[in-house]
A and B are shown apart, each in its own frame.
Chain A
Amino acid sequence: MKESKRQQILRCYAWAAPSLLLILMIVIFPILYTGYISLTNMNVYHWTNYTFIGLKNYADALLVFDNGFLKALGMTVVWTIVSMVLQLVVAFVLASLLNIKGLKLKNLYKTLLIFPWAMPGYVSILLWKTGMFNSQFGLLNQWMAKIGHGPVRWLNGDMSAFWCCTLVNLWLALPFMITIIDGALQSIDRSFYESAVLDGANWLERTFYITVPMIKPIIGPSVVITVFTTFKQFDVVYLLTQQVGAKTGADIHTIMTYAYENAFITNNYGYSSAVSIIIFVMLILFSVVINMKPKEVRD
């Protein structure tokens, strides 16, 4: 059973090697290669005979407003804030209502409300697009017709498309948030409320002085993860408005759809790679700022 320290270390690496080599080749190397492409003028005309152009792509993205990256970044920030605020407020209200004493059908409601989480995300988004928002046979326009209103092109204008995307994203994300907040609410000791009621605290005071502070640390990590996924959101905006060959005309881009558009639609690979690297650096900075490290690495 005794073996030298060296042997032990070697064995650890031998066990980890297949996974790490795989990650090195399929994940890390392409990221480095993306960094390499970002320094070239690779595009559809220069697919193999590209040349180095230094940091020009980065300058184009970060310094020239008309190229659209900064606009997409601004939109992504607004999108993340709006989505997160709505999600947290709505999920908190719904979870609180679910926890009202004597609500017998609570579990049934929870199961039904969780459905959007259980559906494959891209299927739901496409169902929203064709089933609800389609200007010809979408349900929303059928309802509009019922109240005597002409068809509305929901996804065409920037503003209405943005709110449609926000609505769909809310629909997709609420079940997770409700589940997390519901779990947190149930972990609060009832006796806190009882003594607060005795002290004459009203509902609003109880919410702000007991509920919110108590659930904050519990839901914190999940909220942080949701901020990340919202910031990185691609599917909702892309599938609703920016699909190749089926653009709705709304000019809204998150940074992710922007990077994709430049890579696979306008085929400006060098520029798109620079955008990718900028996004990656931003994600790294975020992680560092909020200290999202594995528990044990932190101490």
Chain B
Amino acid sequence: MKILIIEDEKALSDSIVEYLTTEGHLCEAVYDFQKAREKIELYEYDCAIVDINLPDGSGLDIIKKIKEKQISLGIIIISGRGSLENRIEGLEIGADHYLTKPFHLAELNAHLKSINRRINFSGNNEIILNEIKILPDEHRAFVNEIELKLTKKEYDLLLFFISNKNRVITKISLAEYLWGDFMDTADSFDFIYTHIKNLRKKLLKLDCEDYIQTIYGVGYKFDLSIA
């Protein structure tokens, strides 16, 4: 995907670019409002990651501009302001997701993947990863063409793992992806452990490779290289 990153914090922007480039995306970064406007006038992108607070303007205005030109373009807002009104305002003018800083790169990546699916396979898309097949629109998963019976959390976990395959995924990013802000981390780590244990059990039962690796003290990795 061709992604435009509009974020005035250069260090943060660099991190995003680095993470997404290794995912195979083509990233372009701009650091202010004017440059962002020039870019969207001149080029076409699949997705834009927009910070609301820019030194010389509001990210919201850029989103409006983008939507005038190219309605299907995916938009993820990243902002330090996380109040309900801010979120509603952002989503109302057409953003797909609203991430509050600080966010996890893995979470950003997962949202990008879902935008990618929306844009590129409108409707009949499927994700195939070796013996695993996922139909994201129907929230269904298969192993060797046999349907996996997953709970909602287990399904979300699997999708998150697949979106961030071969990556180290920290427990915190998993927890915030599944429960948002409102669960305390200490509690959620136990639940993540339980959900992953169940998911793994279900996968192994259908003769799936044991892709989910535990990295002690850090988190997990959906490692395809072991197959």
Instruction: Specify whether A and B are partners.
Output: no
List the interface of chain B (C-beta within 8 A of A). Answer: none
List the interface of chain A (C-beta within 8 A of B). Answer: none
